[in-house]
Amino acid sequence: MDHIALKYGINPNQKRATLSIEAGALPLTVLNGRAGYINILDALLGWQLVSELKAATTLASAASFKHASPAGSAVAVDLNSAERAMFFIDDDYPLSEQATAFVRARGADRLSSFGDFIALSDRCDESTARLIAAEVSDGIIAPAYDPSALAVLKKKRKGSYLILQIDPSFVPPSLEQRSLFGMTLTQERNGIVLDERVLTPIVTRNRELGDSAKLDLLVALNTLKYTQSNSVCYAKRGQAIGVGAGQQSRIHCTRLAGEKADLFHLRQSERILTLPFKEDLSRNAKDNAIDLYLRAELHDQSDVFTTPTAPLTDEEVRHILKGVDGVSLASDAFFPFRDNIDRAHKSGVRYIVQAGGSVRDEEVIAACDEYDMVMICNKIRLFLH
């Protein structure tokens, strides 16, 4: 039986941890570093997400995984000047398609991505590797690496950065198993393909669904397929901008993801893009300062700003968020109440895809019609546990 010895299990006291395959060779090769149990979970889930997202959209894809759920995911939609500034990318830095997808995935929720595991759909080139080198990350999985990219990544974390290579031709078996307390659960793998064919039927009066909205809905759906349930995902311009994962209540998912989406849009405001940061401040310190600043919790500015800066007022926040529109939202199961729609509207959601099948479907659809939203009820549930 082909296997890889792991550092330890989910926690350091859980020893004798391995990754193995019963038949044939493992499709995974360790090119650098030593893998842990959680690394493997994040790597394999991340790879499935980006490979399926690439297949659904034909665009280079990337994901940032933390604790078996994506902190961010994205496809290669070119960055505008505001997005470059928000993601700390110099205007003259050359971005390959894979690098563009990575920047979007890593920049969606930078606090949650701190110490992440990165998944790439395509070959890792030097442009992408140099961006990864500047981030706090535990490892990466990709189907291939340019020699120059490997040279950059192998220097990360004093030479211990985990680099995994996956065989892109590997197809998981149709049956999957999980051992729990000495018992074994078996089921068919969730092999559903989430491409444009699942964006039907539209059940609202508004039926205008453009190509950009379709792309965002596919990003959100494919992200949810590999997000711990319950989960809701907001998306815009080819990237997940708010993921609410692992909540017992769906409205809590919608609120959590909506708050992240709101912060994402506030980060693009002129006030945030022109904050007077001290020159020697790291990216991570800037991320933390921006988050505290937006929450009006940055009580000591002397360590981060060159001049005192008043926080955004409630009126300024409302003005910025009022201008947000065209956001897409996906849910991994039906909405039981219209409160989810009311909350989504506050974050500029215009397009929704969900399973449908609630006894209150008519009430939820009516709420969408009130806000002139487009909603799809495709009868597809995407739970992951």
Which of 54, 66, 156, 236 is an active site residue? 66
- Cβ atoms of 176 and 189 within 8 Å: the answer is yes
Residue 223: CB atoms within 10 A of its CB come to: 31
Q: How far apart are CA 240 and CA 71, in angstroms?
A: 9
Is residue 385 among the annotated active site residues?
yes
Q: Which residue has the tokens 């505001």?
A: 82
Is residue 13 among the annotated active site residues?
no
Which helix H or strand E contains 383, and what residues bound it?
none
Q: Which of 212, 213, 230, 257 is nearest to 373 (CA)?
A: 213
Q: The tokens of 187 are what?
A: 């089921």
Amino acid type, 299: H
Q: Which of 241, 211, 238 is nearest to 76 (CA)?
A: 238
Is residue 230 among the annotated active site residues?
yes
Which of 67, 214, 252, 346 is an active site residue? 67
Q: Which of 178, 48, 68 is nearest to 116 (CA)?
A: 68
Angle, helices 283-294/250-266, rounded to nearest 10 degrees: 110
Q: How far, in Å, are 191, 351, 352 from residue 333 at the CA level?
A: 17, 16, 12
Omega of the bond leading into 230 within 30 degrees of 0 (cis):
yes
Q: How far apart are CA 46 and CA 140, in angstroms?
A: 9
Which of 39, 230, 340, 378 is an active site residue? 230
Is residue 299 among the annotated active site residues?
no
Omega of the bond leading into 201 within 30 degrees of 0 (cis):
yes
Give catalytic residue positions: 66-67, 230, 385
